[in-house]
Structure formats: structure tokens, C-alpha cells
């Protein structure tokens, strides 16, 4: 028994290096499979990122809370990891004009804060979004149609607690394509809101990679209203499910893809080892033990896999970076009517430890499984039988 | 040194049953160079495989240095082979991915021979087989005769007690074959190695100390011995 593994490692390395074309052909399969899976996995993460970014970025934010007291300043919520806080003061009432009536929730907003955080204002169809200090109204197309209004029209808002109705001029008309945002909602600036001291709702927008749960935990420990804050995954269970479903189906695809690829790899491995079977017989005749033989074959496969996997990861990462630097993959044509892609249909693949580690781990597992039969065959058979095979 | 007692071996295949060895008994004294002759399919390779522990007889015993090879556990047999045995085969002897030097040094590595001694012994053998400058070459860069000389050097590098050569000259022309066997016997005798080879070549037979004939799995002493 050799004390050092170095001799077997060197022998395995020489076997791979000097088997030239066979090693290259086999490695190419592993390289391409790993590269493809790294890219697919990153693309999967990118699709989910886009859905979360779109769903939270349009209006709701990553964290929402309702019924916050007017005395609570939005700045208090701007803890580490928070990109911005949008304060919205709702008032339920009736909007009328041109002899038409429609019940609405009128949100008093800070237009500047909305511009730096949310994206619904980008969905302007006519006119413009509100400017700071504006006395105008920003309404959905559905509402404009119902009230037969267009930009410049004067609409009147009245609510139960108001002594007199308040007139607004329509400054802009928008359409998000998302029913809850397009039906029964109107916006005006906080300065023009008839009831600015009403409890407000908060939309908290986070920087990329910040976990909403961490921020909520900080709110709950610091604010009396902490319990009111909920993350997007609590408020949008449909999105949470869709993302989980996406991860599951992509994982399934990855395993299936690698399963198919591994069949090819398995066949190639068997051919690779059987091509050299006589040499294993010669080694056995020289007194190499079955355990050493197994170790040698496993080392050959692991060495080849490690090198091929590293090359595959490099190719996959290069593809991800290349796609990222050239503006992502624009799937707008397939997502324009999908509310989960309301802000953007551009996918930016993103690498995660999982997307980097799972493909090479799969490759190694499948390759070792594929090499098991020839390794056991070589280790268990008598030298004379192996020599006859070769 | 080598003793076979009533060794039998039968192969079963789609073509039927073939009795390769039919109760062979023989003894080869230590340091002897023995040659076994016989037609193709007479059982030479099977006999050598059984003598070398590469194959198991159905019945009978094979003793090498007093040890019944086929009672050893697999690992024990492997360690016995690496220490006390050397093999030369008819073809495909060398590990294709190792150089000539690495091929000869392989059994020395297996036997944990220190690096300096390993290099000295390997270089000396390379010179003895006339391939002093061929150390870095790979097997495919050598001629058939050179491959077999390297195989002989590798089989004797770790100074085994028994060398078994299965038709080592079969792929060579007569002159090259004879000079190969001369070289093998010369190197083997220097280290006191017992040698058994199988061959078709009568010139090679004449070089051996002990000549045996095998026919239909049965041994016959050579009439001229």
C-alpha cells in the first residue's frame, strides 16, 4: 500500500493529459453541460428578480403598511437597506365630472418620492405625472373613460368628512394594465390633498439583495406600529407561489437536462474506460490492488470533472456577464400583458452560489455514477479476464 | 520455486465447453529458465495465468515459493504479485499514457523504492536494453521490438522471484525475438529470477534450461530435453 496519494493522483493526471483527444471530447460534454446549466440557473434567478422587481417596483414596494399615524415621519422608516419610502394618504370619496360619477380612493402622494422609488408614473398615456406642489389630478384611463375626462378636464372630489367638494384639473392619465391600480384610484400631490392629516400607507422600497424580513424585524423592534408592516411575499402570495413554482420547474428541468446529458457522458465514460481496459489488466497483473484501481479511476474522473467543471463555470459566467452587459434578454414581446412583468420584460441573468455550485455538483455526481460500473468491473474481475477483454 | 499439482481449468462459452488444462503437474526449480511450447489453443496462456495468479484453476494447486497462490486473499495476492512477480505479455504491454521511463519505474513506485534508487535502477535498465535515450518516449513512438524490451525491463525492474512471459516474441521477427529472449534470460539470470515463457519458436526453446510441451491441455516433457 502506498503511503502517498500523490503517485495515484499523478498517474491519473498523466492518464488524462496524455489521452489527449479522448479526454478533450469527454471534457467538452461536461464543459458544455455545466456552462449551459450555470447560464440556465442564472437566467431562472433573473426571471424571478424581474418579476419581484416589477411587482414591487410598480407601486406596492417590498414592504407595505397601512394606517400609519400622520405623526410618523417617512424618514423614520429609512433604515439601512431601504432605498426609499413613499408616503400615501388615502381618502375614499366620489369623483365627478361631465355629469358622471365614480367612487375612488384619492391618494395624496409626494411626486418626488414616487419618481425615485415606484414606477407607475412611467405608465403615463396622456399629459404628465404630477409635479411637486401640483394642484392637479393623475387618474387611470379606466377612470378617465368612466368620467369622460381627458387632460385639462376639471373633476370634483367629495368625501363624507368634507364640507365642500374640491376641484382638480386632470394633469395626466395612466394605464398600468393591472386592474387594482387601474380601477378606482386617483392621485394628487400631498399639498393638494383635502385630508392630508389622515393615517397614511407606506410603500418601502429596498436595495437589491436586502431581505424584507430583516427590515421588518427592525421596524417591529423600534416602532409601535411595527406589526402593520408586511413583506411583498405576505401581500402577494400569488407571486411567492409563482417564484417557488419557477424554481421548482427550473430545478426539474436542470435535473432532466443533466439526466439526458449524463446518459451521453455515461456512455462516453464507459467507452473511455473500456478503451483502456487492457492497461488496467496490465496494472492488475503488476500488483495494483482493487482498491487502488478504484481509487485511480475515481481520481481520473474527479480530476477531469473538476477541470471541465471549472471551464464550464467560466463559460457560463462569461455568458451571464455578456448578456448582462449587453442589456439583458428582452422578453417584452412575451410579457407585455403580464402583470408580473409590468415594469419591464428585460431579464438579467444573475449568478448565485446555488447557480454556480449545483451544475458542477450534478456533473460530478452523474459522472461518478456513470463510472461506477466500469470501475467495479475493472476492480473485481480477474486480471486474466480483463486482459481477454482488451 | 514453481510447482503445479493436477491443475485443471475449463472454459464455458457459447461455443461449448473447452477443457484448457487437464491435470497438469510440473515443477520448475529456482533460477531456471523454462520454455513451454504448444500450438495455439493448447493451454499455454491459461497455464501461465494460473501460475501467475491472474486466473484461478478449477482444481489443483499452484505453489510459488511454497505459497499456494490461490488461497491468498485478493489484496494479499496483489501484494505478492507486485513484490515477487513480473509479467511480459504478447502485446499491449505498456501503459500508453506513461513514458518508457515511467513504465519501467512503475513497479518500483508500487514497491516504494526510494526515488534515487528508482532513478538509478531505471536508467541502468534503459541502458541494458539499449534504449538509454528513449526514457521520455511514449509507447506509440517505439517499434514492436523496443516495446517488448521495455516490457522485459519493467517486468524485471523490481527484481521479482518469478518472471512469466506469454509469447513475448509472437509479434516480432525471428531474429528480434531471439535477441529479446537472450536479453530477458541474461537480465533474469543476473538477479537469480526463475523464468517461464511460452513460445512457438524453436530457436527460443533452445535457449531455455527446461523445455516443456503442452498439447490439448496436457503437458509432455520435450523429447530432446
A228 found inside a domain? no
For A207-216, A355-364, B95-104, B140-149, which range has the lowest pLDDT when averaged over its residues?
A355-364
Cβ(B172)–Cβ(B139) below 8 Å: no
Query: Which residues on A lie below 8 Å from B72 (Cβ)?
Result: none
| Greatest extent of chain B over all pairs of C-alpha atoms, in Å | 53
Chain pair A-B, CB pairs under 8 angstroms:
76
pLDDT digits (tens, 9 = 90+) for B164-190: 999 999 888 888 899 999 999 999 999
Residue A223 within a domain: no
Asked if pLDDT for residue B223 goes beyond 50, the answer is no
For the purposes of burial, counting CB atoms within 10 Å of the CB of A88, is it exposed (0-12), middle (13-18) or buried (19 or more)?
buried
pTM of the model: 0.75
CATH at residue B147? 3.40.50.300
CB contact under 8 A, B80 and A287: yes
- CB atoms < 10 A from the CB of A4, how many? 10
Asked if A85 and A205 count as a contact pair (C-beta separation under 8 A), the reply is yes
Give the three cell numbers for residue B162: 518469478
pLDDT of residue A3: 56
Interatomic CA distance for residues A237 and A326, integer angstroms: 33
| Whole-Å CA distances, A227 to A9, A214, A223, A224, A238 | 59, 14, 9, 8, 22
Same-domain check for residues A380 and A244:
yes
A106-120, B114-128, B210-224: segment of lowest average pLDDT: B210-224
My answer on whether A33 and A81 are in the same domain is no
Same domain, A255 and A305: yes
pLDDT number for residue A387:
86
Per-residue pLDDT of chain A (390 residues; tens, 9 = 90+): 545 688 999 999 999 988 888 888 888 888 998 899 899 889 988 988 888 888 888 888 999 999 999 999 999 999 999 999 999 999 999 999 888 999 999 999 999 999 999 989 998 999 999 998 888 999 999 999 999 999 999 999 998 766 778 999 999 999 988 888 888 899 999 999 988 888 999 999 999 888 999 999 999 998 888 889 999 988 888 888 988 998 888 888 878 877 787 777 777 777 877 888 889 999 999 999 999 998 898 888 889 889 999 999 999 999 999 998 998 898 888 877 777 777 777 889 999 898 898 888 888 888 888 778 878 888 888 888 888 876
Interface of A with B in 244-283 (CB under 8 A): 276, 278-279, 282-283
Q: Binning pLDDT at 50, 70 and 90, where does residue B224 land?
A: very low
Residues of chain B above pLDDT 70, percent: 98
CA distance B69 to B77: 7
Q: Which residues constitute the domain of residue A160?
A: 63-209
Q: For residues A384 and B21, what is the distance between their CA atoms, to the nearest angstrom?
A: 15
Find the helix or strand (DSSP H, E) in which A364 lies: helix A353-380
Q: Quick check: B38 and B221 in contact, CB under 8 A? A: no
Residues A23 and A96 in one domain: no
Q: Which residues contact A228 (CB under 8 A, 6 or more apart)?
A: A65, A66, A67, A68
Torsion from C-alpha of A261, A266, A272, A275, nearest 10 degrees = -130
Domain assignment present for residue A141? The answer is yes
Cell 516474441: give the residue: B169
Cβ-defined contact of A276 to B96 (cutoff 8 Å): yes
| A320 three-state secondary structure | helix
Number of separate domains in chain A: 2
Q: Is the dihedral of CA B121, B123, B124, B129 positive or negative?
A: positive
What local confidence, expressed as pLDDT, does residue B225 receive?
43
**DSSP for A12-52?**
HHHHHHHTHHHHHHHHHHHHHHHHHHHHHHHHHHHHHHHHH
Specify whether A294 is located in the same domain as A246.
yes
Residue B221 has pLDDT above 70, yes or no: no
Which residue in B81, B89, B97 is closest to A287 by CB distance? B81
In DSSP notation, A88-127 reads: EEEEEEEEEETTEEEEEEEEEE-HHHHHHH--GGGGEEEE
Which chain A residues are Cβ-neighbours of B73 within 8 angstroms? none
Residue A67 in any domain: the answer is yes
Residues 6 or more apart in contact with residue A249 via CB below 8 angstroms: none
Domain count, chain B: 1
The answer to whether the Cβ–Cβ distance between A384 and B54 falls below 8 Å is yes
pLDDT score at A150:
93
Structural domain containing residue B106? 2-221
Given a contact cutoff of 8 angstroms between Cβ atoms, the answer to whether A178 and A58 are in contact is yes
Q: Do A108 and A167 belong to one domain?
A: yes
| pLDDT value at residue A390 | 66
Please list the residues that pair with B22 across neighbouring strands: B8
Considering the domain architecture, whether residues A70 and A163 belong to the same structural domain is answered as: yes
Same domain, A44 and A73: no
Q: In this structure, is residue A225 part of a structural domain?
A: no
3-state SS, residue B147: helix
Interface touch A383/B95, C-beta < 8 Å: no
Same domain, A335 and A380: yes
Q: What are the backbone dihedrals phi and psi of residue B131, each rounded to the nearest 5 degrees, phi first? A: -125, 40
In a domain, A342, yes or no: yes
B chain contacts of residue A287, beta-carbon cutoff 8 Å: 78-83, 85, 107, 110
- A71 and A104, same domain (yes or no): yes
pLDDT band for position B46 (50/70/90)?
Answer: very high
Q: Which of A287, A289, A299, A382 best tests the B interface by mutation, with the highest count of B CBs <10 A?
A: A287
* Cβ distance of A286 and B82 shorter than 8 Å: yes
Alpha-carbon distance A21 to A27, whole Å?
Answer: 10
ipTM reported for the complex surpasses 0.85: yes
Contact criterion met (CB below 8 Å) for A147 and A96: yes
Whether A221 maps to a domain, the answer reads no
- B-chain residues within 8 Å CB-CB of A387? 54, 89
Tell me whether residue A233 is in a domain.
Answer: no
Amino acid at each position: 500500500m502506498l503511503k502517498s496519494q500523490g503517485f495515484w493522483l499523478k498517474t491519473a493526471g498523466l492518464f488524462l493529459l496524455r489521452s489527449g483527444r479522448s479526454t478533450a471530447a469527454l471534457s467538452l460534454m461536461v464543459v458544455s453541460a455545466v456552462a449551459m446549466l450555470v447560464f440556465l440557473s442564472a437566467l431562472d434567478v433573473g426571471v424571478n428578480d424581474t418579476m419581484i422587481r416589477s411587482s414591487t417596483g410598480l407601486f406596492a414596494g417590498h414592504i407595505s403598511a397601512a394606517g400609519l399615524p400622520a405623526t410618523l415621519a417617512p424618514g423614520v422608516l429609512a433604515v439601512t437597506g431601504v432605498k426609499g419610502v413613499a408616503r400615501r394618504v388615502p381618502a375614499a370619496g366620489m369623483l365627478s365630472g361631465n355629469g358622471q360619477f365614480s367612487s375612488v380612493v384619492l391618494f395624496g402622494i409626494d411626486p418626488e418620492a414616487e419618481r425615485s422609488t415606484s414606477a407607475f408614473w412611467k405608465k403615463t398615456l396622456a399629459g404628465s405625472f404630477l409635479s411637486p406642489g401640483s394642484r392637479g389630478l393623475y387618474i387611470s384611463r379606466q377612470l378617465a373613460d368612466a368620467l369622460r375626462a381627458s387632460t385639462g378636464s376639471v373633476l370634483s372630489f367629495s368625501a363624507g368628512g368634507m364640507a365642500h367638494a374640491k376641484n382638480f384639473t386632470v394633469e395626466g392619465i395612466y394605464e398600468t394594465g393591472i386592474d387594482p391600480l387601474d380601477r378606482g384610484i386617483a392621485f394628487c400631490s400631498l399639498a393638494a390633498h383635502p385630508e392630508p392629516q389622515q393615517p397614511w400607507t407606506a410603500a418601502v422600497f429596498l436595495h437589491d439583495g436586502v431581505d424584507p424580513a430583516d427590515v421588518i424585524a427592525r421596524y417591529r423592534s423600534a416602532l409601535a406600529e411595527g406589526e402593520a408592516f408586511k413583506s411583498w411575499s405576505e401581500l402577494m402570495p400569488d407571486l411567492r407561489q409563482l417564484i417557488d413554482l419557477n424554481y421548482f420547474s427550473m430545478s426539474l428541468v436542470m435535473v432532466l437536462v443533466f439526466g439526458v446529458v449524463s446518459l451521453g457522458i455515461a456512455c462516453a465514460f464507459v467507452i473511455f474506460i473500456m478503451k483502456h481496459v487492457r492497461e488496467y489488466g496490465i496494472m492488475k497483473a503488476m500488483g495494483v490492488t482493487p482498491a487502488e484501481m478504484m481509487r485511480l479511476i475515481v481520481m481520473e474522473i474527479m480530476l477531469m470533472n473538476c477541470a471541465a467543471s471549472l471551464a464550464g463555470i467560466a463559460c457560463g459566467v462569461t455568458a451571464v456577464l455578456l448578456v448582462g452587459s449587453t442589456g439583458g434578454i428582452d422578453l417584452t414581446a412575451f410579457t407585455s400583458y403580464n402583470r408580473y412583468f409590468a415594469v419591464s420584460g428585460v431579464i438579467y441573468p444573475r449568478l448565485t452560489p446555488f447557480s454556480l455550485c449545483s451544475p458542477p455538483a450534478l456533473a460530478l455526481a452523474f459522472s461518478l455514477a456513470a463510472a461506477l460500473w466500469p470501475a467495479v468491473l475493472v476492480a473485481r474481475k480477474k486480471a486474466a479476464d480483463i486482459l481477454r477483454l482488451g | 520455486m514453481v510447482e503445479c499439482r493436477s491443475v485443471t481449468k475449463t472454459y464455458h462459452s457459447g461455443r461449448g465447453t473447452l477443457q484448457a488444462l487437464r491435470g497438469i503437474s510440473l515443477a520448475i526449480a529456482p533460477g531456471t529458465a523454462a520454455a513451454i511450447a504448444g500450438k495455439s489453443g493448447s493451454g499455454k496462456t491459461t497455464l501461465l495465468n494460473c501460475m501467475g495468479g491472474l486466473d484461478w484453476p478449477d482444481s489443483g494447486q499452484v505453489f510459488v515459493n511454497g505459497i499456494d497462490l490461490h488461497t491468498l486473499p485478493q489484496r494479499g495476492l496483489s501484494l505478492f504479485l507486485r513484490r515477487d512477480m513480473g509479467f511480459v505479455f504478447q502485446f499491449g504491454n505498456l501503459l500508453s499514457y506513461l513514458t518508457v521511463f515511467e513504465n519501467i519505474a512503475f513497479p518500483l513506485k508500487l514497491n516504494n523504492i526510494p526515488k534515487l534508487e528508482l532513478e538509478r535502477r531505471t536508467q541502468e535498465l534503459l541502458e541494458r536494453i539499449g534504449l538509454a535515450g528513449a526514457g521520455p518516449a511514449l509507447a506509440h513512438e517505439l517499434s514492436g521490438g523496443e516495446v517488448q524490451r521495455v516490457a522485459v525491463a519493467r517486468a524485471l525492474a523490481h527484481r521479482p522471484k518469478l518472471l512469466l512471459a506469454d509469447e513475448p516474441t509472437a509479434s516480432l521477427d525471428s531474429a528480434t525475438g531471439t535477441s529479446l529472449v537472450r536479453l530477458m534470460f541474461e537480465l533474469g539470470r543476473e538477479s537469480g529470477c526463475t523464468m517461464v515463457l511460452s513460445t512457438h519458436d524453436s530457436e527460443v526453446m533452445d535457449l531455455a534450461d527446461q523445455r516443456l510441451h503442452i498439447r490439448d491441455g496436457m503437458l509432455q516433457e520435450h523429447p530432446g530435453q
